[in-house]
Amino acid sequence: MNIKKHIPNLITLLNLLCGCIALVYASHGDYFAAFYFVCLGIFLDFFDGFFARLFKVASPLGLQLDSLADMVTSGVVPGFVMFFMMKNSQHEIGTHEIWNYLGFIVTMGSCYRLANFNIDTRQTESFIGLPTPANTLFILSLPLILQYSDSLIVLEVLTNQWVLLVITLCSAYILNAEIPLFSLKIKKFNLKDNALQIGFLTVSLVLLGLFQYLGVALVIIMYVLLSVINNKMGKKVTA
């Protein structure tokens, strides 16, 4: 039996396990543990593809497993967390609890994104629309920002069900929007060709160091905004 061909799939299944564990912690209100198990799952998600290419054992089964595991870690978990944030909000849209389930729009948007990614041949080198792991980190950072912030403004904003609904809808949209996002891969070792990537990573480290969990959300927002600006500047150059 060729052990090597099963290693990437095992790593993918460990990603799925991390997502399941994150769900359990999130259901108990432990968003700190949920966040870090999701981070571990995303880390494993990167390395399953790495080892599949390294061992030259990439397969259709691995591709399907990867999407199914991501659907839990980067699809169900953020929708579940948004559901609980909606449920625990102070400024509600209405009294009926059905509004809380709108948080799962994040899960629906993630599902569509993952299915579309598998058949979209344009996304081999970079992304079109926000990747589900990045969106998940953004969503899971919100309850931690709320938990560790002393700001009354943050409290008012992140406990307002209307605001959470807008975040949910924007999240589902940006996952599937026709917005090319610049690749973070460094292919040529020179400053000119990698100025955007190096600048982004440098500012990201500063934001994470200064703002911790708020920095996570700011980095994701900055990534999207920089990509939009980069796209517009690129069009002007080619026009």
What are 61-116's pLDDT values in tens digits? 888 888 899 999 999 999 999 999 999 888 777 667 889 999 999 999 999 999 99
Q: 63 is written with which tokens?
A: 């591709």
Q: What is the mean pLDDT of the chain?
A: 87
Tell me, yes or no, if the pTM score tops 0.75.
Answer: yes
Query: Where do we find the tokens 């990437």?
Result: 8
Query: Which helix H or strand E contains 127, and what residues bound it?
Result: strand 127-128
Q: What is the pLDDT of residue 62?
A: 80
Q: Report, as an integer, the average pLDDT of 29-41.
A: 96
Residue type, 221: I
Residue 124: pLDDT over 70: no
Q: What is the pLDDT of residue 238?
A: 40
- Rounded Cα gap, residues 96 and 143, in angstroms: 22
Query: Which helix H or strand E contains 114, and what residues bound it?
Result: helix 105-119
Contact 9/69 with Cβ under 8 angstroms? no
Q: What is the pLDDT of residue 187?
A: 54
